[in-house]
Amino acid sequence: MLNDVTIRMYCTGFGDCFLLTFRHPDKTTRMLIDFGVRGGQAEHMQAIARHLHEDGLDKQPLDYLVITHEHEDHISGFRQARDTIDQLNIRELWLGWTERPDYDPAKDWRLYKEQTRATLQAAFQLLPAEQRTELGMNTSLLGELFRFERDVDASDEPIQTVHHTNPIYDRLIRQADKTRYFMPGEYSTDIPGVRIYVLGPPPIEYIRRGESHVHGELYIGADYIADTYSFGRAFEPAATFAEYVSKAPFDQEYIVPVRLEPGSEYQRLPSKLFNGDSYEKSLLERRFQQMKGGGRDNSVLHQYFDKENDWRRIDTDWRNSAEGLALKLNQYTNNTSLVLAIELIDTGEVLFFPGDAQYGVWSAWDDDSVRASNDDKYKRRFMWRITDQDGTSRTVTAEDLLANTVFYKVGHHGSHNATPKRTGLQKMTSPKLCALIPVDAQTARRYRWNDIPYQNLLDAFANVPTDSRRMAPVRFLRADDLTMPANWPEEDDLIKSKLKVALQVDVPVDDRTINYVDLTITPPRDASA
């Protein structure tokens, strides 16, 4: 029997940290979902960790630690507040299948991830430090994306091989009594009165599915590891001139031995490339002098590097490809989110935690339904056969879970591509739907994420579209604005349960203050109510 459950959103900044407390007549069960922030703020995360510790985790175990995916804004606190985190008694660590050390598809994913990061680092380092954020939007965006992926392990320890996971994960695996890696379609009944369904990470083809404005568009090539390899070779430093020529887009007779990196114009290629080949070196030296000669106005090199001709040059067009590669990696990592739908068994009401799952994940659930309706032999991935307390058997689908959702942890900080319309919000039809958005718009602007949170999504929450079966607005709170909406009383009814909201602002923790919000859901005493 479940007395009640409290969902606590700690306001970390631009990051996720949710503490769920399930209260039973004879015990309390606690689950922490993520613990991170973007943009540093180590002292703030340390204060939140101390609050967690003082709020009961110093005396009782953390029953479940859930890490949805490997991004800094979801895991940085495990490093920033390591001294306090190390004191926790963690019973179970929950991760998605993408982190399984011995699972071949997970190894493929980690290989792609590490190759892509290495490629982005090599590409980014081609730019002189003083120009990495001064050469226009593409370079600045590439820099931010690279730093986001470079810092993703939030650790000073390198990942050794594809057989290893993130160093933070490795440490938590050693700390926890047990680690579980979940596949889509599994479920857990370990917490009394609660049934937890796993909807992600989806199969790999959906991790690689991009965002879409039209259903089913924007797939990438199947061989996503090869895509990275061919692009990445261009940034490996050449050891010899022959290797330099092999990487060049032209034959040797058309190559001018000049450096093309911004800030290095008019400089020869390094002498070490020629490896003692005096003939090759003298031949290219003559070509270099020919291009440089003829006076300043007639010099081929001067005309080539003239600022007025910048628009004609293609030397740095690789940045567009590098930026696209970084965006893909960021998107695919979001799509590896461990997605949990937590059902309160007495009422059927659902608490939905999608991590940062983007379009590909949501479309997996929709495709599952469409394929089942068109093919009698298709075996559904997201359908569960459940036996209720009275002994009756029934099936539960992803559509059922979305329809019964009364609490939604808004995905990816309220971005445009993490709460799809047709396959997502329109399927959450409960008139009592409420949501929490872990976002800090000021931090988002600093990183040029100017559409987070996405205004159209906020408008969709606040209004009832004519094509929606949900006949009431979504009540929501933002982590950066803990102001109760006029349509959200502190105490209210859900479908069957009672809901109570408590805003905690400027809570002192040693020499700092923190903010958080508690939503407490109390099912009726009579399960048949």
Which H/E stretch holds residue 171? helix 167-175
Q: What torsion do the CA atoms of 440, 443, 449, 455 make, to the nearest 10 degrees?
A: 30
C-alpha radius of gyration, the chain, whole number:
27
Please report, in tens digits, the pLDDT of each residue of the chain (529 residues total). Answer: 899 999 999 999 999 999 999 999 999 999 999 999 998 789 999 999 999 999 999 889 999 999 999 999 999 999 999 999 999 999 999 999 999 998 999 998 988 888 888 777 777 666 555 445 444 434 455 555 555 555 555 444 444 444 456 889 999 999 999 999 999 999 999 999 999 999 999 988 888 875 544 443 332 333 444 454 445 555 555 556 566 666 566 666 666 666 665 566 566 666 555 555 565 566 666 666 766 665 555 566 677 777 777 767 666 666 667 777 777 888 899 999 999 999 999 999 999 999 999 988 999 999 988 888 888 777 888 999 998 888 899 999 999 999 999 999 999 999 988 898 888 998 999 988 999 999 999 999 888 888 999 999 999 898 876 556 666 889 999 999 998 888 788 888 888 999 999 999 999 998 999 999 999 999 997 654 4
Number of helices followed by number of strands (H, E) in the chain: 18, 18
| pLDDT score at 502 | 95
Is residue 258 in some structural domain?
A: no
51/57 Cα distance (integer angstroms): 9
Please give the angle made by the CA atoms of 4, 27 and 390, to the nearest 5 degrees: 65
Report yes or no on 262 lying in a domain: no
Q: Which amino acid is at 328?
A: K
Gap between the Cα atoms of 342 and 188, Å rounded: 9
**Residue 92 maps to a domain:** yes
CB atoms within 10 A of CB 150: 13
pLDDT at residue number 76: 95
Rounded to an integer, what distance in angstroms lies between the CA atom of residue 174 and that of residue 165? Answer: 12
314 CB-contact burial (10 Å; exposed 0-12 / middle 13-18 / buried 19+): exposed
Query: What CATH number is associated with residue 181?
Result: 3.60.15
Task: Name the nearest CA neighbour of 339 among 182, 519, 172, 107.
Answer: 182
Tell me the torsion sign for CA atoms 236, 237, 241, 245.
Answer: positive
Domain that holds residue 203: 4-110+148-223+328-522
Amino acid (1-letter code) at residue 479: A
Nearest residue to 423 via CA among 396, 438, 403, 406: 403
Residue 518 within any structural domain of the chain = yes
- Looking at residue 489, its pLDDT comes to 84
What single DSSP character describes residue 234? G
Residue 49 resides in a domain: yes
Residue 509 lies in a domain: yes
Residue 273 belongs to a domain = no
Task: Report the C-alpha gap between 516 and 91 in whole angstroms.
Answer: 25
pTM: 0.82
Domain count within the chain = 1
Q: Is the separation of the CB atoms in 339 and 424 below 8 Å?
A: no
pLDDT reported for residue 222: 36
User: Is 134 within a domain?
Assistant: no
Q: What is the pLDDT of residue 328?
A: 82
Rounded-to-integer distance, Cα 419 and Cα 424, Å: 6
